Each structure stands twice: as C-alpha cells, then as structure tokens.
Amino acid sequence: MLKTMSQCDLAHRRVMIREDFNVPFTPLGEIRSDARLRAAIPTLQEALKKGARLLLLSHCGRPEEGKEDPRYSLEPVARRLSELLQHPVRFEKNWLEGVTLEPHEVVLCENVRFNKGETENDEALSKKIAALCDIFVMDAFACAHRAQASTEGVARFAKEAVAGPLLMGEIEALSRVLSQPVSPVVAIVGGSKVSTKLSILHALLKPVDYLIVGGGIANTFLAAQGFPVGASLCEPDLIPEAFQLLKEAKEQGTEILIPQDVMVATAFDPHAQAFLRNCDEVKEGEMILDIGPRTIQQYETIIQSAKTILWNGPVGVFEFDAFQEGTGALARAIAHSTGFSVAGGGDTLAAIELFDVEKEISYISTGGGAFLEYLEGRSLPAIEILQQRSGSR
C-alpha cells in the first residue's frame, strides 16, 4: 500500500504538492477549461485544513526547456485557483532558490519546465526542489508515467514522499476494473490504429468478458475475419496479430465484438453522405466511419447488462455529424448503466463532453498517457518510487 497524504501530520509543515495544472488557454491567454484545477481543489482544501504551508508545482504546455515563455506561464492559473479555492494563492516566479511560506499560505510556483533539467530528471535539480519541502505529495496521475525532476526525482530525494487523493483515486478506480472487477466486464477500445493499442488489447483479454473494438482498430479485425474494408483506415500488416488476438480471446473465454453493420462514405469529409452497409457489403473506395444500427443495438444490450465498464476511444468519427451516432449511443448506454464505469483518453473525454454524460460516468480519468500505460500493466516511475518510499514495493 502507498502511504497517503491523509495519513500525514501536515500542521505547520512545508508541503509540496505536484498537481496537473496543464490547462488549455485561448489565444488571448485566458483559461479555456479549468476542469483540472477544480479536480485538485479537494486535495488543497484537505491540506489547508490540516494546517499545511502549501507549495504547488505543475508543468504547462511544452515550452523550450530552460527558457521562460509567457504563453505557458502559470500566473493565470494562480488567479483562477484563488477564486476556486476561495483562498489567496500567491504566484512565485523565481522559486528554486527558496520560498518564504507562512502557516496556511498557498504558493503556486512557475512552470517547472522553465527549469533546465526538468524533463531529463536531472538529479541536481531534483535535490534542489526536494530541499524546499518537508513532505512531497504526488497528486498528478497524468504525469506519473514520466520520470522527471518534479515527479519521480523530487519523490526520490524529499524527506517524505506520499501519494495525494487524486492519484489514489485514479489507482483505486483502475484497480477496481483491472484487478477486482465485478462480472460481466465490458471494455470498449477504439481509436485509429491497432498498433497503438496492442498492449492494451492483450492486457484486457484476461479481466474482461466482452471486448468491443471500434474505429480503425475494428477495421483491422474485420479484415482479419475476411470482410472487405474498402478504402477504410486499416493496418494490413497487423491482420495476423488481430487474428491471434481473436484466437487468444476465444481460448480465455473472452468475446471480441466487431461490427455487424457499418456506416460508410466515399470521402473523409464532415459533409460526406453516410451509407449503411452490412460488413460483407463494403465496396472498394468506401470508408467505414461509424458502426451501424444493428451493431449499436447489440453493444447497447451488452453494456446494459455490464457490472464493470472500461471505455477508451470512440467507435467512429464522432467529430462528423453523420458519423457520431455510434459513439453517442455507447456514451449514453454507459451513462445509463448501473455498473461501475471508468473512462479515459483524450478522444474519449472529448466525446464525454460532446454527449454531455460526464455526471453519469462513475470515474473519468484525466491521465492520458499514464492511463494507457497503467492499462497495459506498465510500471509508472512516479508511483514506483512512492512504493519504494512506502516500503511496499
């Protein structure tokens, strides 16, 4: 078990919390979405209630490392945090050499990526950051797969390093799906390429009962079963791999579901006309861009009976009005399900927002790359170092 912030005495101590405040900005420099800031508020409130002196760290964007770039400054984040927290948040531009902190004070440090050595996990920089606190709290699951100075490095050298509530929430939700799922378990894995999701597909064969593949991934599976895919996005060199996955799934008692009917177009265009085809009727020059009504009905029925649901990736080009019905129908089915549901991945989050089902999903992961790597069973450096520091590796 990881030692957590909730188990620590924070009173009067300098508590450094690594959050994910990598928010999107408008061209005018205004915060476009403060969802990541709102997610961190309970952690900050708990630390303040316990009497901590708070130092907050985060990256933002991808500036050239070691150089200040006003486009990626966290100063606007400090202002918005003050409003959300209803507590002053002081912005500190030059913080590496030391920061004065009064009891119950909150300081947001400038973008960690303005420091040379951040992404390379430079040891000297890590030690310098660690020296600024009594306790380091890793609360940014989205950055846990990166061994960087403000994540793994500082956790290695801080006097004490523990996991924050947000990080623990992610781990517990994903563990509930992967390690302790209640059957029937349904996983929906969409996306453009099998090659980017191979490890996930293999990893999910064991814990799930039904594995729904969508998007370009489904096209490769259709081709593996001898169906024509026309001009659809497909990876012919991975057809043997898809065939092998189908074989392994059958051996393990897992059913991989592929479409029975599809919506096609003759051009990849938001205004393209949609045509319904059975899977054995796709013509040369046609592109599969969504699942059809019979497939939607089958998937909805399976989702309705599920007790555990994992969703990663759309099943069609939902950005085009004519091809969003499949992803929309599955999003609503997951939202109406009584099962425990976890959703994650950039396109998935965009779909959740588009179809307005955020409140009905049990847990939404903002982990991005960390979410995918955790599903694949990979070790995440920032979590591994916390396990070592907790003596529970």
377 Ramachandran zone, left/alpha/beta (phi>0; psi -120 to 50)? left
Question: Sheet containing 363-365: which strands, arranged edge to edge?
Answer: 255-257, 210-213, 185-189, 308-312, 340-344, 363-365
Residue type, 326: G
C-alpha distance from residue 114 to each of 67, 183, 276 (Å): 5, 47, 52
**β strands within 119-164, DSSP E:** 135-138, 161-163
93 noted as active-site residue = no
Q: Spot the catalytic one: 193, 294, 307, 332.
A: 193
pLDDT of 331 reads 97
pLDDT of 392 reads 46
pTM of the model: 0.85
Q: Spot the catalytic one: 51, 61, 117, 369.
A: 369
Q: Spot the catalytic one: 36, 113, 197, 277.
A: 36
What's the CA gap between 181 and 177, in Å, rounded?
A: 5
Domain 5-164+379-390, CATH: 3.40.50.1260
What's the CA gap between 160 and 386, in Å, rounded?
A: 10
53 noted as active-site residue = no
pLDDT of 151 reads 98
The secondary structure of 75-122 as a DSSP string is: HHHHHHHHHHHTS-EEEESS-TT-----TT-EEEEP-GGGSTTTTTT-
pLDDT of 393 reads 41
Between strands 308-312 and 185-189, the pairing is parallel
End-to-end CA distance of the chain: 8
Calculate the CA 21 to chain-centre distance: 14
The ranges assigned to domains in the chain are 5-164+379-390, 183-338
* SS3 state of residue 340: strand
CATH class assigned to 183-338: alpha beta
What's the CA gap between 271 and 274, in Å, rounded?
A: 9
332 noted as active-site residue = no
346 noted as active-site residue = yes
Tokens of 264: 């096609």
183-338 has the same fold as 5-164+379-390: yes
Q: 375, 369 in Cβ contact below 8 A?
A: no
pLDDT of 362 reads 96
Q: Spot the catalytic one: 98, 285, 346, 377.
A: 346
Residue ranges of the chain with pLDDT lower than 50? 392-393
What's the CA gap between 40 and 167, in Å, rounded?
A: 10
Q: 194, 217 in Cβ contact below 8 A?
A: yes
